[in-house]
Amino acid sequence: MFRDQLVARLTILCWVMLGVAAVTWLVMGRSRKGYQMTSVYWLACGLGIWLCLYLPIHWILPSVMLSIAGLSFVFAFVPVWFHHRRRNRAWPENLGVLSEPYRPPGGLTTSVTALGLVLFFLGLCYLTVAMSARSTFLMGVSLLILVQYDYRAESALAGMVLVTLGLVSAFLDLFGASGRSSPTILNLVVIPLSYLAFHWIWLGGVWQRQVHEGAALTTTARMAPLTRHVGIMLLGFSTLLSVKLALWPILPAASVSDTHTNRFILMGVSYGILLGSTIWISRRLASPVMWGLIGMNVYGTILAFVIRTGFFYRVFWPNWMAITGIYVAFFFAIVLLYRFVIRPVPSIVSPGR
């Protein structure tokens, strides 16, 4: 029954791709340069999905993801490779080729971005599968290749998110998360997400050095502001997942106690990386909002360990409002002490004084 439903829905998707290919060829392919290649791209993706329907049931969706990602990489990379090959062979007979800039086929960047969103949601469903990691990472690389020659902020953002999803999925596959319990998967997801939140913002600082007098000298320099959005987004997801991990033993979905030694070790690693990334990002961005996120993550870290001990039910839960209020007051006192005493902001003095 599941196979019949899956085949029926993917068949509809194939017909939609065939229709998009036909409309692109007939409407824009005759008058605009490059749209014929985009039409062939949609046709190839539809054909790839059609062929995947003959595979075993558990391989259909991962193979669909890999076929779309592989075709996207081919259509993004091969024309660039041919363009560089022509330039390398231009000397000395065809020097005019050296001045010809490369431009991706019309509509290809938009098409790959749209299918990239489809792969993103499928990748979330198959987060622990190795083929999902390869597909999302390859799709993200394809988008980053395209935006190098046809820059679009939404496509660059989608490329960075897909690369991130591919790295997280690869991390889970490397540590054998498939078939593990839900809190273990949550625990393992927090680790790469927290690190990548730090990594993207750090990488944005490196790319920012390629901006000269307000002008971006490279494509990565134009992508530098986007890294801040990606980093904050990943840090927010890590915080939400860490809160769910902390509260897992008292959630209705919890069927067994979550108090074995491996859990405490994994939580120590994940919450340590999360707190380190949060503190580094808050100092880098110098945003007051980040201090609240630090307080929330510290509170969640303490709660994650306390809730898995008998102290939680004996002392914390009956007095949770008073304990939380004391913690909030203590944390704000530390923030104010750091802000105005330990590291005060220097006042701005006018030149006349």
240-279 pLDDT, tens digit each: 999 999 888 888 877 667 778 888 999 999 999 999 999 9
Stretch 342-347: mean pLDDT, rounded?
A: 53
- Nearest Cα neighbor of 131 from 336, 139, 89, 31 is 139
Give me the amino acid identity at 229.
H
Task: Using the structure block, give the residue that is written with the tokens 């669909």.
Answer: 64
Stretch 321-332: mean pLDDT, rounded?
A: 80
- Nearest Cα neighbor of 239 from 199, 185, 181, 299 is 299
Q: For residue 352, what pLDDT is reported?
A: 44
Spans of all domains in the chain: 186-310
107-162 pLDDT, tens digit each: 899 999 999 999 999 999 888 889 999 999 999 999 999 999 989 999 999 999 99
Cα 205 from Cα 193, distance rounded (Å): 19
- Cis peptide upstream of residue 318 (ω within 30 degrees of 0): no
Q: For residue 333, what pLDDT is reported?
A: 78
293-307 pLDDT, tens digit each: 888 899 889 988 888
Q: For residue 348, what pLDDT is reported?
A: 42
Q: For residue 95, what pLDDT is reported?
A: 64
- Whether 353 has a pLDDT exceeding 50, the answer reads no
Minimum mean pLDDT range among 158-167, 234-243, 342-351: 342-351
Stretch 41-48: mean pLDDT, rounded?
A: 93
Contact 242, 269 (CB under 8 A): no
pLDDT category, 172, cuts 50, 70, 90? very high
Total Cβ atoms within 10 A of residue 329: 10
Q: For residue 112, what pLDDT is reported?
A: 94
User: What's the whole-number average pLDDT of the chain?
Assistant: 85
Q: For residue 194, what pLDDT is reported?
A: 94
Q: Name 119's Cβ contacts closer than 8 Å, sequence gap at least 6.
A: 65, 68, 69, 135, 136, 139, 162
Three-class SS string for the chain?
A: CHHHHHHHHHHHHHHHHHHHHHHHHHHHCCCCCCHHHHHHHHHHHHHHHHHHCCCCHHHHHHHHHHHHHHHHHHHHHHHHHHHHHHHHCCCCCCHHHHHCCCCCCCCHHHHHHHHHHHHHHHHHHCCCCHHHHHHHHHHHHHHHHHHHHCCCHHHHHHHHHHHHHHHHHHHHHHCCCCCCCHHHHHHHHHHHHHHHHHHHHHHHHHHHCCEECCEECCHHHHHHHHHHHHHHHHHHHHHHHHHHHHCHHHCCCCCCCCCCHHHHHHHHHHHHHHHHHHHHHHHHHCCHHHHHHHHHHHHHHHHHHHCCCHHHHHHHHHHHHHHHHHHHHHHHHHHHHHHHHHCCCCCCCCCCC
Q: For residue 350, what pLDDT is reported?
A: 42
